[in-house]
Amino acid sequence: MAGDQHEDGWGATFTEQALDVTTVVSGGPDQVMALLAAEEGPASRLLRQVYTRVMHYARHCDLQQRRQVLALEAARAGASRLAHDLDEVALPTDSAARWKVRWATGAVSAPFGGVTAASSGVLSALATAVVAGRPVVLAADRDGGVRVWDLGTGTPAAPALLGHDGWVNAVATAVVAGRGIAVTGGGDTTVRRWDLATGTPIGEPLTGHATQVYAVTTEVVEGRPVAVSTGSDAIVRMWDLTTGAPAAAPLRVHEGWVSAMATVVTRGRLIAIVAAGDHTVRAWDLSAGAPIGRPVQIHTAVVCTAAAAVAGGRPVAVTGSDDYTARMWDLSTGMPIGEPLTGHTDLVRAVSLGTIGGRAVAITGSDDCTVRMWDVGTGEQIGPELLFFAAVEALATAAGQRLVVGCGRHAVMLAHC
């Protein structure tokens, strides 16, 4: 076979030049499979392996999505050079910037190495941080651990955080006295603090919740780093991250159970959006211990995820529900903004807020194995949905317009460039 060979078995050219990555992306599936069957050599075998695994998607999605799932499968196989080459194929419908796969963990088979093993359980939460000047992503799973991976490469960057007895439902990060820490909440009813550099616990578990902890966030309030936790006991607890002591009295936010929570600090006030098992959503001023507005029952099923941020100068939140929709919220009033964000065809399990291309966006992930982007200002979907190979249950944004997606036991990092 002609052309340079790379460590993943991928060469840039084929013997007869009959097939290249542009043809693989844009050609008809039957044509591509026929051409691949006629080619020999390690590059052809690699392409055939990747293409066969995504052939169903190739038949039923547009060219942009086909390119993305091909690059994703190549990354899962440890073929980083092939993933890059597939992602660089230009299409007439491309915008100036788009999402490109940078790495993926947990290949079913990684014959060319260079890929980090999947988590042992389904990923339940993601967060980002910086450890010793190195951006990392934390991936919590249902086997009770939190893995720490290099955000740029997907390789292990620090020891795993192990200690919860059961699922880790939530993870957040903070900086305390110059030290990067993680805060986790689990099915064992505890909140725990961890030194990210060493992977060791900080102090004793934080106890008080009567049932499993579903949500944990971190904020800085009046110069003090705090964690906020809640769960099915419908009690919101605030913790001083320096000492581990309670930072405020426990606050009951519902008579039933809480399914999701997110927080943001605006104008010095700690604000939360809290979703309950009766499908209601309510904003709370946690600094005052008082609700903002009335409970709103606008979702028609359980709200299982929430995120909050300051966008366009106002505190906003996004919620995702088992009713297949997401909603935007104005946290200054506790009222919904605009119409439902529709398009997903299954439960919306993960949401995030970030800035992409200079505009505020809401990001939603679903059991339909897709991720969608929405303009916070207009509620309109931005570009085509991104496709994955399992239900999307966790999302995290990072500096440099990067997005980490948790789907099944796998994590995928994409960059908008």
- Residue 9's pLDDT band, with cuts at 50, 70 and 90, is low
Residue for token pair 């990923």: 123
Q: Which amino acid is located at 179 in the chain?
A: R
Residue 113 pLDDT exceeds 80: no
Q: Which amino acid is located at 328 in the chain?
A: M
pLDDT of residue 260: 97
Mean pLDDT throughout 302-320? 96
| Dihedral, CA of residue 201, residue 202, residue 208 and residue 211, to nearest 10 | -20
- Write out pLDDT tens, residues 80-106: 899 999 999 999 999 888 999 999 986
- Write out pLDDT tens, residues 333-358: 999 999 999 999 999 999 999 999 99
Average pLDDT, the chain: 91
**83 closest CA partner among 72, 97, 98:** 72
- Write out pLDDT tens, residues 27-60: 999 999 998 888 788 888 888 999 999 988 888 8
Side-by-side strand order, sheet with 235-240? 213-221, 224-231, 235-240, 251-252
Q: Supply the DSSP symbol for 203.
A: S
Residue 107 pLDDT exceeds 90: no
pLDDT of residue 75: 93
Mean pLDDT throughout 280-296? 97
pLDDT of residue 14: 40
Residue 276 pLDDT exceeds 90: yes
Query: What is the end-to-end Cα distance of the chain in Å, rounded?
Result: 32
CB crowding 167-202: b at 16 or more within 10 Å, else e? bbbbbbbbebeeebbbbbbbbbbbbbbbbbeebeeb
Chain centroid to Cα 243, Å, comes to: 30
Residue 110 pLDDT exceeds 50: no
Give SS3 for 293: strand
Domains with residue ranges and CATH for the chain: 21-95 (no CATH), 116-252 (2.130.10.10), 261-284+299-417 (2.130.10.10)
Q: Which amino acid is located at 88 in the chain?
A: E
Residue 155 pLDDT exceeds 70: yes
Give the least confident one: 9-18, 29-38, 222-231: 9-18
Surface-to-core class of residue 208, CB atoms within 10 Å of its CB (0-12 exposed, 13-18 middle, 19+ buried) = middle
**149 closest CA partner among 139, 141, 157:** 157
Residue % of the chain over a pLDDT of 70:
92
Give the least confident one: 31-45, 130-144, 329-343, 361-375: 31-45
The residues near 404 (Cβ < 8 Å, ≥ 6 apart) are 126, 128, 137, 151, 394, 395, 396, 397, 398, 411, 412, 413, 414
pLDDT of residue 39: 78
Residue for token pair 């939190």: 146
- Write out pLDDT tens, residues 156-188: 999 999 999 999 999 999 999 999 999 999 999
Mean pLDDT throughout 134-152? 95
Give SS3 for 301: coil
Residue for token pair 């995120």: 307
Q: Residue 1 has which token pair?
A: 């076979």
